[in-house]
Amino acid sequence: MYENEKGYLIVDVHVHPKRRGVLIVDEILNVMDEDNVKLSILLARDTDPNDLNRPDVKDTMVEKLRRSDFLVHMGMDDFFHVFELFMLMRERLSRTVSNVELANIVKQHPGRFLGLGSINLCKSEEYVRDKLREIDELSLAGAKFWPQLQFFNPAESENYRIVCEHFQKKGKIIMMHTGTCPGPWEIPELSEDANPKLLEPVLRDYDVQVIIAHFGYYSATCPGIWFKEALELGRKYANVWFDISAVAYILREEKIVEAIRNNVGFDKVLFGSDYIEYVKPSIDIIINNPHLKENEKERILGLNAVELFKLKM
């Protein structure tokens, strides 16, 4: 296992403060102390199981399932399996972390945490603007979005444009989940709104800083699903960053390291764990990596986050 003998500054930009709906703040702090993580950025999650009651959302989900041939492969009665799948979706969507809850955690542990709020963009414009005011009032650094869990297409969502305009003015950060998502959303068609290429139409119009979470790579069913699209986006836009949360293992492959270095550079790559179980092995992958240069390791582990979030360490 790694030893931080060189005194690397480590900032974890992608940490979920709950596991299966239960706060694990003390566990996070213990892992941070054990693994010399200076600062962690915690994530809110604004999802609503009642969104599945909306005819437009329900019809879209069913259409995507049919297009995926998922039901055919399962060999089960269509109605039964759709019902079962929707029940699982409801349970997963109920695992929320409110902006207020997140801000309170940050306030209780000064110097250890920053917070990224969340806004459910399939809600009304009034709802979105209220949440933007809330994020400002709570002094959160920006917001995390899940297109597949919040049922919006970034290329088509007017609410997403409202967020980009507001965050550009306020200097706040957008983190966008890319790739599939655990549970029902491992079916690629259900996660297709989390393809990084759908961010491009808005990136042309706004200079807001955007983190591509999971590098477009995450998928248990189709690993590397939108990695090429993520690289293409980073090659075109200087305001695009990437985190390696849940996919640090990809840096073990020399060809992937070269692809990142040649297309976007490691001055745009951020360390993220996703969940605390991944902190130590992810740091190990970077520190003991024969394919990374010393300055690249330093930048990934912390220096890039200091630059992006304007941290005073």
Q: For every residue of 149-176, which 3-state class applies, written as one string?
A: CCCCCCCCCHHHHHHHHHHHHHCCEEEE
Whole-number Å distance between alpha carbons of 207 and 230: 17
Per-residue pLDDT, 219: 96
Number of neighbouring beta carbons within 10 Å of residue 205: 11
Average pLDDT over residues 12-20: 96
User: Would 148 be classed as within a structural domain?
Assistant: yes
pLDDT of 2 higher than 60: no
Reported as a single tens digit per residue, the pLDDT across 258-299 is 999 999 999 999 999 999 999 999 999 999 999 999 999 999
**Boundaries of domain holding 209:** 11-47+95-309
The closest alpha carbon to 273, from 7, 13, 2, 9, belongs to: 13
The closest alpha carbon to 196, from 144, 262, 242, belongs to: 242
User: Would 175 be classed as within a structural domain?
Assistant: yes
Residues 38 and 84 in one domain: no
**CB-CB contact of 159 with 114 (8 Å):** no
User: Would 2 be classed as within a structural domain?
Assistant: no
Average pLDDT over residues 191-218: 98
User: Would 6 be classed as within a structural domain?
Assistant: no
**CB-CB contact of 272 with 309 (8 Å):** no
pLDDT of 75 higher than 50: no
Reported as a single tens digit per residue, the pLDDT across 109-165 is 999 999 999 999 999 999 999 999 999 999 999 999 999 999 999 999 999 999 999
pLDDT of 1 higher than 50: no
Residues 100 and 237 in one domain: yes
Residue with tokens 């590098």: 215
Residues 275 and 290 in one domain: yes
Average pLDDT over residues 90-106: 97
Helix 254-263 vs helix 227-236: crossing angle, to nearest 10: 30
Average pLDDT, the chain: 94
Residues 219 and 246 in one domain: yes
Residues 189 and 251 in one domain: yes
Structurally, the chain folds into a number of domains equal to: 2
* Domain finish residue from 38, 66, 94: 94
